[in-house]
């Protein structure tokens, strides 16, 4: 096995176009899979030598977050947690404190697990990935990147350089909740991200609802957003949200939960998540 740490996007895409190459960001999934002999790549391409993957920049249009920025760095950023608390909280649920020093948004997404915590958080926030490849750079909304477990919409040589997160709306708030049988050190049985915006009168003008671990890929639930838009996010709207979310679930029975349980809990979590997002939107 070869380890490479390119410093330019072009060098990285050239290496990644080769046989048996894998992207190494934080390595908190990849190295574990290598040690348990699930994966044995020929070339490890460490993207942390590329400046753009390691920094957070802010301008009027929002944030650009490098794909290899760690969970701890997201938390420590002076304004990100104020603007997108749900997204940061979701990313901070990955692993332990030690893992937070390494794990990244790019890695969490590209590991290709439907249960990744930061992904519904990013989808709710409207994150768009900037993807570099041998043919140049393109963008793709985060909800379109993962296709199925371990299967991504990236082609040979492509990797995610950064994510664009829009500026927070004037009265906007987001939240992420997950269900796990414990309180930490676990993987979501259901995850739910909600972002919404209110007008001055408190009516919901925009919303995005995303679910994790209830289908083969993280979901953007359009009907969930529709249940909220145009309402005061009252009990009636939340009941509609709950129904829409449950209808969108296509989970499996496995050791972490049954189909029935995941559908039930998704509805419960969506209501609870929306209430937190609403409170946050009202405060700003």
Closer residue to another protein (CB): 255 or 283: 255
Residues 77-116 that bind another protein (CB under 8 A): none
Torsion-angle region of residue 233: left (phi > 0), alpha (psi -120 to 50) or beta?
A: left
* Residue 182 interacts with another protein (CB under 8 A): yes or no: yes
The strand pair at 159-166 and 2-4 is best described as unpaired
Nearest-approach distance from CB 256 to another protein, in angstroms: 7
Closer residue to another protein (CB): 222 or 279: 279
Closer residue to another protein (CB): 69 or 116: 116
Tokens 């040979």: give the residue: 156
Contact region for another protein (CB under 8 A) — 38-46, 59-67, 208-216, 261-269?
A: 261-269
For 66-120, the three-class secondary structure string (H helix, E strand, C coil) is ECCCEHHHHHHCCCHHHHCHHHHHHHHCCCCHHHHCCCEHHHHHHCCCCCCCHHH
* Residue 179 interacts with another protein (CB under 8 A): yes or no: yes
* Residue 257 interacts with another protein (CB under 8 A): yes or no: yes
Binding mask 41-80 for another protein (x = CB under 8 A): ----------------------------------------
Nearest-approach distance from CB 193 to another protein, in angstroms: 17
Q: CA nearest 247: which of 239, 236, 256, 235?
A: 239
* Residue 231 interacts with another protein (CB under 8 A): yes or no: no
Contact region for another protein (CB under 8 A) — 57-65, 75-83, 203-211, 263-271?
A: 263-271
> Which member of 187, 216, 243, 252 binds another protein (CB under 8 A)?
187
Closer residue to another protein (CB): 177 or 195: 177
Nearest-approach distance from CB 265 to another protein, in angstroms: 5
Kindly list the residues in this chain that would bind another protein in the complex (CB under 8 A): 36, 179, 181-187, 189, 255-258, 260-261, 264-265, 268-269, 272
């Amino acid at each position: 096995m070869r380890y490479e740490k390119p410093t330019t996007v072009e060098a990285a895409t050239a290496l990644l176009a080769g046989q048996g190459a894998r992207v190494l960001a934080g390595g908190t999934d990849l190295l574990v899979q290598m040690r348990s002999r699930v994966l044995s790549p020929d070339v490890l391409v460490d993207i942390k030598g590329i400046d753009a993957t390691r920094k957070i920049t802010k301008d009027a249009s929002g944030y650009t977050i490098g794909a290899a920025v760690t969970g701890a760095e997201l938390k420590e950023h002076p304004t990100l947690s104020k603007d997108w608390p749900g997204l940061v909280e979701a990313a901070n649920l990955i692993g332990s404190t030690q893992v937070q020093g390494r794990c990244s948004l790019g890695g969490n997404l590209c590991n290709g697990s439907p249960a990744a915590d930061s992904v519904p958080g990013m989808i709710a926030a409207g994150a768009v990935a900037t993807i570099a490849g041998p043919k140049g750079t393109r963008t793709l909304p985060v909800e379109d990147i993962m296709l199925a477990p371990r299967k991504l919409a990236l082609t040979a040589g492509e990797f995610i350089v950064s994510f664009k997160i829009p500026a927070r709306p004037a009265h906007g708030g987001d939240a992420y909740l997950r269900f796990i049988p414990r309180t930490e050190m676990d993987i979501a049985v259901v995850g739910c991200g909600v972002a919404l915006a209110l007008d001055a009168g408190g009516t919901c003008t925009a919303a995005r609802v995303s679910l994790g671990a209830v289908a083969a890929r993280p979901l953007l639930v359009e009907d969930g957003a529709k249940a909220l838009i145009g309402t005061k996010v009252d009990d009636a709207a939340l009941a509609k949200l709950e129904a829409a979310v449950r209808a969108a679930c296509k989970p499996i029975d496995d050791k972490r939960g049954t189909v029935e349980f995941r559908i039930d809990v998704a509805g419960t979590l969506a209501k609870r998540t929306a209430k937190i997002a609403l409170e946050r939107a009202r405060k700003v």
